Amino acid sequence: MIDIIPAIDVIDGKCVRLTKGDYDRKTIYADDPLDVARMMEDAGCKRLHLVDLDGAKSSHIVNYHVLERIANGTNLVIDFGGGLKSDEDLRIAFENGASMITGGSIAVKEPEIFQGWINQYGSDKIILGADTRNGKISTSGWIDDSNHDIIPFVKDYMTKGINKVISTDINVDGMLSGPSINLYKEMLAEMPNLYLIASGGVSAMHDIEALEAAGVPAVIVGKAIYENRISLKELEQFNLLQQ
């Protein structure tokens, strides 16, 4: 079974999606992310991936009020990411309703801080964001590419206590062209105990079924839902079968 985790990306308090992480290629799908979150919950989703894109760009938490409203207005288990760079950012995120946080750029640029979060909060609450472009880890809201190859990077953090990883292939994100199944197969072959959350490229239910067949335990879906490539009815039926 594979868990479907809907995504809500936030800019200026609105629900948006970017294409290939490009802030200049932004589509606004809803003025109120809480309305979207409630629709996902009504379709049987238990989890939500909430990304503060303003925070990712400005390197500190920005849209925590959106997090608070969704946490108070639904029963969704929220993992929150985007711009979390300090202990204070984490305190704000958890106090405003995040069940987990995702750290990406911080894990590359300030690994001592990220390791401290793992030690303080535990692997159940800290997710590694390992987003990649052409096999290299990307940072700063996907604006910058690092010199880190994705598999050694994730392997190293698994030795440090990480067991959940969200990996987005930026080249397919928002393109509705299919997920990077070969990348995820390679990652799971190297790290079979990894709770890998695939992200990017999902265009229809058959992509989710292909990821499930490849052994991927969870997938984040955004644009395919907003563009009605995956209907809320399909989402509801799939979630019912998973119970």
Catalytic residue ranges: 9, 131
Furthest-apart CA atoms within the chain: distance in Å = 44
CB proximity list for 63: less than 8 A, separation 6 or greater: 10, 13, 52, 54, 55, 82
Nearest of 140, 131, 130, 37 to residue 84 by alpha carbon:
140
With vertex at residue 153, the alpha carbon angle to CA 99 and CA 196, rounded to the nearest 5 degrees, is 45
What sign results for the dihedral spanned by CA atoms 138, 143, 146, 149?
Answer: positive
| Residue 87 identity (one-letter amino acid) | D
Q: What is the DSSP-derived secondary structure letter of residue 169?
A: B
Contact 42, 29 (CB under 8 A): no
